[in-house]
Amino acid sequence: MAKLPTGRKLPGKLLVVEGIDGSGKSTQLDLLRKWLVGEGYCVAFSEWNSSPIVGSTTRRGKKKKLLSPTTFSLIHAADLADRVERQMLPALKAGAIVLADRYIYTAFARDIARGVNPDWVRGNYAFAPRPTVALYFRVPLEESIRRIMSGRPRLKYYEAGLDLGLSGDPLRSFELFQERIVSEYEKMIDEFGLTVIDATLPLTEQQEMVREIVAPHLQGVLKAERSAWREVLGKEQLYGRYLPEIGLEQRQK
């Protein structure tokens, strides 16, 4: 069960993945999503920092380097609030599964690493429903950095923590910043009951573990009839030539 901050149980399940950049959490969540959808469950997905209402402000702040630790924290809280209010909470009330790629723990780790008051940040996020399961993908720093640098050559300003002035060299700054974030994550494991996954294991092995952890929570979850049009096509002897046009936009994303 996901729970409201008041303790009231919600019929849906909130499954969260956390971990530093390059821990492979998004890959694992994507695999989990495909499996859950394949099993017929009703699944909503929400990514950190993706609110259509707040996004332009966050982008502006990052591009123009306007963000301080305080405003960085607040704007990300606004982003989650919008997604909770409009997307996650309705889905959880309906009894669906909500998958979140990063959640409040990302904010706690990053903002506290930036020197924001821990009690204040935690208080700001008090509106967030409590997850059913929060998986923390633990990876050694060197490994995550190797993964990131092989795929993405240029580190962004805030991503590298350059706003903290830890080092003028983006890579060095990134390392120092990630180190702080890792130590914040480690502290939160017990406090919030995060489930640790060893992110150095082979992908499939990790996914098996993830499914094993998630499976007991799937009872009674809302199912969605997939491809309900198949039946119509068969009965009416139609080809469904125009059906691919439906949802074309989503697939193009």
**Which residues sit at the interface with another protein, rule CB under 8 A?**
51, 53-54, 56-57, 60-61, 64, 66-71, 74-75, 77-78, 81-82, 84-86, 115-117, 119-120, 123-124, 126-127
Cβ-contact 133, 210 below 8 angstroms: no
Closer CB to another protein, 68 or 183, in the complex: 68
Distance of CA 51 to the CA centre of its chain: 13
Q: Measured between alpha carbons, how far is residue 23 from residues 125, 197, 226 in Å?
A: 24, 10, 32
Closer CB to another protein, 63 or 152, in the complex: 63
Smallest distance, another protein to C-beta of residue 13, A: 22
Q: Beta strands of the chain (E only): which ranges? A: 2-3, 9-10, 13-18, 43-47, 97-101, 133-138, 195-198
CA distance 9 to 93: 9
Smallest distance, another protein to C-beta of residue 62, A: 10
Smallest distance, another protein to C-beta of residue 251, A: 25
Smallest distance, another protein to C-beta of residue 137, A: 27
Smallest distance, another protein to C-beta of residue 128, A: 10
Q: In this structure, how many other beta carbons lie within 10 angstroms of the beta carbon of residue 68? A: 12
CA distance 19 to 220: 29
Closer CB to another protein, 81 or 218, in the complex: 81
Closer CB to another protein, 66 or 203, in the complex: 66
Cβ-contact 102, 19 below 8 angstroms: no
Smallest distance, another protein to C-beta of residue 49, A: 14
Closer CB to another protein, 47 or 198, in the complex: 47
CA atoms in the 13 A half-sphere facing the CB of 122? 8
CA distance 155 to 145: 11
Closer CB to another protein, 136 or 158, in the complex: 158
